[in-house]
């Protein structure tokens, strides 16, 4: 009897061991461990606090430094082992403003003001962040959000862009993305041309966004997202970029719905973009002591080949370039996006009117009270000269223009697009 009991106990131990093995035991992967095409990552389990999982600072391209500065983004180098994805990546290099990251990646707060008027961020910044509900659902809709900041500032780690609440409420996979901004994201300088259309476009920031959308197409299923149901949403400059993505021929297959908020088509001509880029080059040459004024800067540039100028500019640090930009406010901001004829059509508004855009559902609108950012411009728009310091957008615009938000909707497609350009039959979504 004793022997039989001992055998039974041993058998039970083996069975228990087998059960643990079958269930994974200590070898069970973390619920936040996911395999991408470039390597495995492990994120944050926020199921107890917010009911979500998160993956932060996931690279979707190589750092755009050295020869990759002012060049289209390139796939990230694959990695071995498991990469930790629990912290936001760097904000992209930019001149410090209200919507910029704090110096040295300090936590959001009053530290942001220490960067005003100074270079902040880092060129090694092409990362995205992913949130999803903490469950096992698959084929969830994907919301791809592009931050604002006038295309010269901003970063996805801004607390206002934390996607966990949206992921839970919308029952969706939410993706936020960093992209190059300002002179590092939009520069149409003749000396940088190579004969390759995307490279020569100057639209490096838009190419970053399309690269991130390609990452979504290739990897989002590992996070429970549906690569065939991607809504691209953006606010302010992000909305400007959403419209640019809608008319870009390179966006085919990357987006299925669009939600631009508080922004329209505000693209720059190639002439405008190149005028700015050449003026910035002259300012850099003067600041570097190679010239004393515009005439002598032009003379020095004329002695250099295109390759020499490209090497010269790529040999500078981002901080040097941004310092020159900040010291020359008379130049204005880098024009963006740029209608180069390849990444973006020349005459994007005409292209839109002619039906040359992604045929997908679009929900266009405005973020509540965004007008408070432009209160000083209100007097110029209305011709009164009186700033529009009112508590909200309805008081500022509704009363001024007799706008009734409760009125029956009367706007039709024909009010926005000339009927002659409307397609007779629906075109498949691109």
At residue 253, the pLDDT reads 96
CATH number for 251: 3.40.50.1820
Specify if 293 maps to a domain: no
Residues 70 and 200 sit within 8 Å (Cβ to Cβ): no
Mean pLDDT confidence for 416-425:
51
Q: Which helix (H) or strand (E) covers residue 13, if one does?
A: helix 2-23
Specify if 8 maps to a domain: no
Q: Is the pLDDT of residue 138 over 70?
A: yes
209-213, 267-271, 363-367: least confidently modelled range: 363-367
Arithmetic mean of pLDDT over the chain: 87
Specify if 119 maps to a domain: yes
DSSP 203: B
Q: How far apart are CA 342 and CA 87, in angstroms?
A: 36
**pTM of the complete model:** 0.84
Residue 211 lies in domain: 33-269
DSSP state letters, 234-259: EETHHHHHHHHHHH-GGGTTT-SEEE
Specify if 371 maps to a domain: no
At residue 382, the pLDDT reads 63
Q: How far apart are CA 198 and CA 305, in angstroms?
A: 21
Q: Is the pLDDT of residue 2 over 50?
A: no
Residues 314 and 69 sit within 8 Å (Cβ to Cβ): yes
Q: How far apart are CA 287 and CA 294, in angstroms?
A: 11
Q: How far apart are CA 175 and CA 181, in angstroms?
A: 19
Specify if 245 maps to a domain: yes
Task: State pLDDT tens for residues 149-168.
Answer: 999 999 999 999 999 999 99
Q: Is the pLDDT of residue 135 over 50?
A: yes
Residues 180 and 201 sit within 8 Å (Cβ to Cβ): no
23-37, 171-185, 308-322, 382-396: least confidently modelled range: 382-396
Tokens at residue 121, please? 């961020």
Specify if 3 maps to a domain: no
Specify if 228 maps to a domain: yes
Specify if 410 maps to a domain: no
Q: How many domains does the chain have?
A: 1
């Amino acid at each position: 009897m004793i022997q039989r009991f001992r055998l039974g106990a041993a058998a039970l131990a083996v069975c228990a061991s087998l059960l643990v093995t079958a269930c994974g035991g200590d070898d069970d992967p973390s619920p936040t461990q996911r395999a991408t095409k470039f390597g495995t990552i492990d994120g944050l389990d926020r199921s107890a606090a917010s009911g979500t999982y998160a993956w932060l600072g996931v690279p979707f391209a190589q750092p755009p430094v050295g020869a990759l500065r002012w060049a289209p983004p390139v796939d990230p180098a694959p990695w071995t082992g498991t990469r930790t994805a629990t912290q936001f990546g760097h904000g992209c290099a930019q001149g410090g403003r209200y919507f910029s990251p704090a110096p040295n990646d300090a936590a959001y707060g009053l530290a942001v003001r220490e960067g005003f008027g100074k270079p902040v961020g880092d060129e090694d910044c092409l990362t995205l962040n992913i949130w999803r509900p903490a469950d096992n659902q698959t084929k969830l809709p994907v919301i791809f959000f592009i931050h604002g900041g006038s295309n010269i500032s901003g970063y996805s780690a801004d607390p206002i862009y934390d996607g966990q609440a949206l992921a839970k409420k919308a029952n969706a996979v939410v993706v936020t993305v960093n992209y190059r901004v300002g002179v590092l994201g939009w520069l149409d300088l003749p000396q940088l041309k190579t004969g390759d259309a995307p490279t020569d476009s100057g639209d490096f920031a838009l190419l970053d966004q399309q690269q991130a959308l390609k990452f979504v197409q290739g990897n989002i299923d590992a996070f429970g997202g549906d690569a065939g149901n991607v809504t691209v949403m953006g606010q302010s400059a992000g909305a400007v970029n959403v419209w640019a993505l809608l008319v870009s021929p390179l966006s085919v297959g990357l987006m299925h719905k669009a939600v631009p908020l508080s922004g329209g088509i505000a693209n720059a001509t190639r002439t405008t973009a190149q005028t700015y880029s050449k003026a910035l080059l002259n300012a850099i040459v003067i600041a570097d002591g190679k010239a004393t004024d515009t005439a002598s800067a032009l003379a020095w540039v004329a002695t250099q080949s295109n390759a020499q100028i490209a090497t010269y500019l790529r040999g500078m640090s981002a901080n040097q370039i941004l310092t020159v930009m900040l010291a020359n406010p008379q130049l204005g901001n880098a024009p963006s996006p740029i209608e180069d004829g390849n990444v973006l059509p020349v005459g994007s508004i005409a292209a839109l009117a002619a039906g040359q855009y992604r045929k997908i559902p679009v929900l266009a609108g405005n973020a509540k009270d965004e007008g408070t950012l432009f209160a000083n411009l209100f007097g110029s728009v209305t011709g009164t000269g009186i700033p529009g310091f009112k508590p909200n957008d309805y008081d500022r615009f509704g009363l001024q223009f007799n706008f009734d938000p409760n009125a029956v909707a009367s706007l039709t497609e024909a009010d926005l697009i000339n009927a002659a350009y409307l397609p007779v039959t629906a075109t498949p979504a691109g």
